[in-house]
Amino acid sequence: MERAAVFDVDGTLVDTNHLHVTTWWEALRQAGHRVPMHDIHRAVGLGSTDLIAHLLGDDRDKDRDAELSAAHKALYGQYFDRLPPLRDAGLLLRRLDREGWRVVLATSAGGAELSALRRAIAADDAIAATASADDVEKGKPAAEPVEHALELAGVPAERAVFVGDTVWDMRAGTRAGVRCVGVLCGGIPRADLLEAGAQAIYDDPAHLLASLADSPLADSPGPSPQADSPQAGVPGRP
């Protein structure tokens, strides 16, 4: 039976979270909003409209949402030709593809941004499908992005694992009924990922790749490491 490995992209496979923080901060500043970067960082992973609502509240001037989103896209777009992949991101996707997993991306990015992210990962040969912001009505933390990824893969939730770096990822995966794996490379604390539903946690794609045999993405079915076990996400420990 097919298995699906569903991956978030920003902060999980490509080191872009802090670029998003900076460019959202600047877009908001230009519009007269003073929002701490810490708050923006915790909102990264939400779609643009949800991120703006999360940061500015429901009493904001919603007519300016599109302007804020466009400003962020223009600022962030300056980095499209040099987005940095996280260590071994492409190798991890290719390894899973070789081991029979259907690799699917589930991201709030779309259009030119998604194309730039895929170029950074440089593993298109291993990616079976992509569920982007253009394909769903509700983004993370709703289950819809992950459920759509499973539809594209043709795999039931019990045969899938979702890897992400934010609480929004973990909540979306949990609501979709899949096992969730967290990575710390997006800058979100371990405790927050555990509380949001992560079953195991690793430092980054390289750490997950090195630990694959004992992870929820093991080639052979078997017990997964507990998320708070010594093996899950300890720097330098395979």
Could you check whether the bond before residue 145 is cis, i.e. omega within 30 degrees of 0?
A: no
Give the mean pLDDT of the chain. 92
Single out the residue of 160, 148, 149, 208 nearest to residue 183, CA to CA: 208
Residues 2-27 have pLDDT tens digits of 999 999 999 999 999 999 999 999 99
Query: Does position 231 have pLDDT exceeding 50, yes or no?
Result: no
Beta carbons of 192 and 167 less than 8 angstroms apart: yes
Encoded tokens for 222: 């078997």
Write phi, then psi, for 155 (nearest 5 degrees): -130, 135
Percent of the chain with pLDDT over 90: 86
Encoded tokens for 174: 């949990």
Query: Does position 237 have pLDDT exceeding 60, yes or no?
Result: no
Average pLDDT score over residue span 206-210: 98
In angstroms, rounded to a whole number, what is the distance separating the alpha carbons of residues 31 and 20? 16
Q: What's the pLDDT at 59? A: 94
Sheet of 160-164: strand order equals: 127-131, 101-106, 3-7, 160-164, 179-183, 200-202
Q: What's the pLDDT at 150? A: 97
Residues 146-201 have pLDDT tens digits of 999 999 999 999 999 999 999 999 999 999 999 999 999 999 999 999 999 999 99
Q: Which residue has the higher pLDDT, 41 or 110?
A: 41
Query: Does position 133 have pLDDT exceeding 80, yes or no?
Result: no
Percent of the chain with pLDDT over 70: 92
Q: What's the pLDDT at 219? A: 59
Q: What's the pLDDT at 168? A: 97
pTM: 0.91
In angstroms, rounded to a whole number, what is the distance separating the alpha carbons of residues 79 and 237? 33
Query: Does position 204 have pLDDT exceeding 60, yes or no?
Result: yes
Query: Does position 130 have pLDDT exceeding 70, yes or no?
Result: yes
Q: What's the pLDDT at 95? A: 98
Q: What's the pLDDT at 132? A: 83
Average pLDDT score over residue span 207-214: 97
Encoded tokens for 149: 């990824």
